[in-house]
Structure 1
Amino acid sequence: MTSQGFARESRAGVFTLVCLSLSVLLHTVAAGSMPSAPAILAGAGLVLVVAFALAGPERRFPVIAAVLLGAQFGLHYLFEALPHAGHHGEAAFSSVPLPPGMVLAHLVAGLVTALWLRGGEAAAWRLLRWMARGVAPLRGLWFFLLRTLIVPATRPALLVSAARRVVRPAPGWRHSVIRRGPPASSPA
């Protein structure tokens, strides 16, 4: 089972928001200044592209943790390569490897966040499977979401074709006329 449309975009957006917020917060605390807006936007774009590419089927903890930790270290180096907010001129990038304390902070924060994201991933997929099975109280909500969020507005033929189905009369009513649906528009 894969998620399509709005579900996929929302999962990628949540992952990007959590990953970027965590990285900006850790970097601000460790460096004493916030990364610049261009660095944050570049990081958001890169993480969103990767997250959207991976947001198809349900992901398990090892995949979420690996991508999150990779993104954390990638964002760290991106934030170091570009000037910090309020600093003009040279970038703060250095070729010195990460201090052990910073590596540990990224690992712990990344793994705890990956556990949290995995819980959200499991809950979202559990809800989607529950709705797909047609649980009676949510059946109306499921079809409403399908019509409004997943079926694109550029393809109204999908909705119209369902309304124009041919209704066949019962065997005893063969010569009766059944007209269902909205009245045809008149020239007046």
Structure 2
Amino acid sequence: MTSQGFARESRAGVFTLVCLSLSVVLHTVAAGSTPSAPAILAGAGLVLVVAFALAGRERRFPLIATVLIGAQFGLHYLFEALPHAGHHGEAAIASVPLPPGMVLAHLVGGLLAALWLRGGEAAAWRLLRWMARGVSPLRGLWFVLWTLVVPASRPALPVSTTRAIARPAPGWRHSVIRRGPPALSAA
């Protein structure tokens, strides 16, 4: 099954938003200044092109993590190459070291974001498969909301006093109770 149209565009947009947000936040914390608007826009465009090219079908965690972490490092160098907000000088890419702490931050942040994106990817494809089978999107949304609202363990329903329900003895909880006409005996 492949994804086309709005589903493909929206998935690529979510990937770009998560990837770019993570990179901007990590860069701002580590560098002490926010990347410039042109750097952020250039990074968004580059990530969006790659994400759109890969959004045609369902992707697994290893590919999502590889692309996300690779984009993190590419955006790091892009943000360092272009001037930061409030700064007028440009930094040379070769003079920008990548400290071990920043490498670790990009790796851990990228892996956690990739896990989150994989969960969203699985949910989006489940909804697309439902829609392909004729289940309306509203019914799928209703099902998702129902599973979030209704607790997993429901209280027992009250037993009607007009009709007794046969229950096995407490010690026989796992025994099999067969109902129906008696079996023909060979008498």
1:52 and 2:88 are equivalent in the alignment: no
5 Å-filtered alignment, 1:13-162, equals 13-91=13-91, 93-135=93-135, 138=136
**Structure-2 change in CA distance of 1:102 and 1:140 (3 Å):** closer
Distance in 1 (CA, whole Å) between partners of 2:73 and 2:89 is: 24
Deviation at 1:93, TM superposition (A): 4.1
Distance in 2 (CA, whole Å) between partners of 1:140 and 1:116 is: 24
Aligned residue number for residue 177 of structure 1:
none
Mark the runs of 5 or more structure 2 residues left unpaired by the alignment: 141-187
State the TM-score, normalizing by the size of structure 2. Answer: 0.71
Contact 1:80/1:94, CA 8 A, preserved across alignment? no
Deviation at 1:49, TM superposition (A): 0.4
Distance in 1 (CA, whole Å) between partners of 2:7 and 2:54 is: 13
Deviation at 1:139, TM superposition (A): 7.3
Q: Please tell me the root mean square deviation across aligned C-alpha atoms, in Å.
A: 1.8
Contact 2:127/2:137, CA 8 A, preserved across alignment? no
Q: Which moved more, 1:116-125 or 1:95-104?
A: 95-104
Mark the runs of 5 or more structure 1 residues left unpaired by the alignment: 143-188
**Structure-2 change in CA distance of 1:132 and 1:36 (3 Å):** same
Contact 2:15/2:117, CA 8 A, preserved across alignment? yes
Q: Which amino acid is 2:73 matched to?
A: F
The count of aligned residue pairs is 140
Aligned residue number for residue 147 of structure 1:
none
Deviation at 1:45, TM superposition (A): 0.5
State the TM-score, normalizing by the size of structure 1. Answer: 0.70
Runs of 4+ in 1 over 3 A off after TM superposition: 139-142
Identical pairs, percent: 89
Q: Which amino acid is 2:40 matched to?
A: I
Deviations 1:85-111 (A, max 9, x none): 000123364534311111000000000
SS at match of 1:70: helix
Question: Max radius of gyration: which structure?
Answer: 2
Deviations 1:161-182 (A, max 9, x none): xxxxxxxxxxxxxxxxxxxxxx
Deviations 1:34-72 (A, max 9, x none): 000110010000000000000001000000000000000
Aligned residue number for residue 172 of structure 1:
none
SS at match of 2:34: coil
Q: Which moved more, 1:110-119 or 1:125-134?
A: 125-134
